[in-house]
C-alpha cells in the first residue's frame, strides 16, 4: 500500500508519506492588524482583498488539520510597547511617516503586543494546547522558540499558510527549508496586500524543482488530511 500524500506541485507532499506525528500546520500572523480594515496593513494603504480572501480558506485548513490531529502552531508579529526591539532603520521610517508601527489607530497602537490589533482573528483563533509564537522578524524562526518546539515534537514537514505571502510567509518558508524542514505552501490560504508580490512568491516555490517546498490549494490539502483522519 502506497503512503498517503497530498497532491501538490512540483512533487507530492511530503517525502515518505503523510503522518500526523511528523506534520504541523503553521499559521502565520493571522492578526487583526493585517486583516481588519482598521488595522496596520489598511492604514499603510494596501488592498485587503487578498488577505481577507485567505481567511476562509485558512479556517477550512485549520479545521481539517485539527480533525487529522496535526500539530497546529500560530505566529504573531508585534513589538514591545516601548519599541525597544524595533531596529533603528525601521524606527527612522516610522519617524519619517513611511511606516506606522506604534502609531495609534482604531485597534490601538499598530503592531504593538497586547493591543487589539495584535490579536489573531476569531476565524482561526488558537485553541488550548496550540502554541503561539510571537516574533519581531519576518521569519517565524528568527529570535523565537519555533525551531525548538518543532524539533521537540519530532515534526519534520510543515504546511504553511497566513499573511503576508511575500513577506512573513515566504521568509518563514525559506528559513524552514534551510533548517531541513519540508514545506508545503497553501496557495489560497495565504494572501498579500500586493497581488503581484503574492504571485511572485507563489512562483518562487516552483524554481529549482521546488527548492523551497511544494504548493497546493486548500481543497487538495484538505483531501489529503481527510484521508489521514479516516
**What is the chain's pLDDT, residue by residue, as a tens digit (230 residues)?**
457 899 999 999 999 999 999 999 999 999 999 999 999 999 999 999 999 999 999 999 999 999 999 999 999 999 999 999 999 999 999 999 999 999 999 999 999 999 999 999 999 999 999 999 999 999 999 999 999 999 999 999 999 999 999 999 999 999 999 999 999 999 999 999 999 999 999 999 989 999 999 999 999 999 999 988 77
Percentage helix, strand, coil for the chain under 3-state DSSP, each rounded to 5: 40, 20, 40
Q: Are 3 and 40 in contact (CB under 8 A)?
A: no
Residue by residue, DSSP assigns 80-142 as -TT-TTS-HHHHHHHHTTS--TT-EETTEETTBTTSGGGSBPGGGPPPTT--EEEESSSSTTT
Residue by residue, DSSP assigns 176-193 as HHHTT-EEEEEEEEEE-S
Q: Are 191 and 215 in contact (CB under 8 A)?
A: no
Query: Domain 23-77+120-229 belongs to what architecture?
Result: 3-Layer(aba) Sandwich (3.40)
Chain centre to alpha carbon of residue 128:
19
Domain ranges of the chain: 23-77+120-229
- Catalytic residue list: 29, 135, 168
Amino acid at each position: 500500500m502506497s503512503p498517503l500524500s497530498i497532491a501538490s506541485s512540483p512533487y507530492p507532499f511530503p517525502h515518505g508519506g503523510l503522518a500526523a506525528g511528523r506534520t504541523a500546520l503553521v499559521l502565520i500572523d493571522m492578526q487583526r492588524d493585517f486583516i481588519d480594515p482598521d488595522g496596520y496593513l489598511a492604514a499603510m494603504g494596501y488592498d485587503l482583498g487578498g488577505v481577507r480572501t485567505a481567511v476562509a480558506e485558512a479556517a477550512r485548513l485549520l479545521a481539517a488539520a485539527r480533525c487529522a490531529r496535526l500539530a497546529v502552531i500560530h505566529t504573531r508579529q508585534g513589538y514591545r510597547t516601548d519599541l525597544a526591539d524595533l531596529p533603528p532603520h525601521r524606527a527612522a521610517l516610522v519617524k519619517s511617516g513611511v511606516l506606522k508601527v506604534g502609531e495609534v489607530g482604531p485597534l490601538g497602537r499598530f503592531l504593538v503586543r497586547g493591543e487589539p490589533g495584535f490579536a489573531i482573528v476569531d476565524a482561526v483563533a488558537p485553541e488550548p494546547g496550540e502554541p503561539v509564537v510571537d516574533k519581531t522578524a519576518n521569519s517565524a524562526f528568527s529570535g523565537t522558540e519555533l525551531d525548538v518546539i518543532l524539533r521537540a515534537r519530532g515534526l519534520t514537514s510543515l504546511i504553511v499558510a497566513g499573511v503576508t505571502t511575500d513577506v512573513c510567509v515566504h521568509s518563514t518558508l525559506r528559513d524552514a527549508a534551510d533548517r531541513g524542514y519540508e514545506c508545503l505552501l497553501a496557495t489560497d490560504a495565504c494572501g498579500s496586500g500586493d497581488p503581484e508580490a503574492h504571485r511572485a512568491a507563489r512562483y518562487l516555490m516552483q524554481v529549482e524543482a521546488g527548492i523551497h517546498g511544494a504548493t497546493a490549494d486548500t481543497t487538495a490539502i484538505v483531501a489529503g488530511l481527510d484521508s489521514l483522519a479516516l
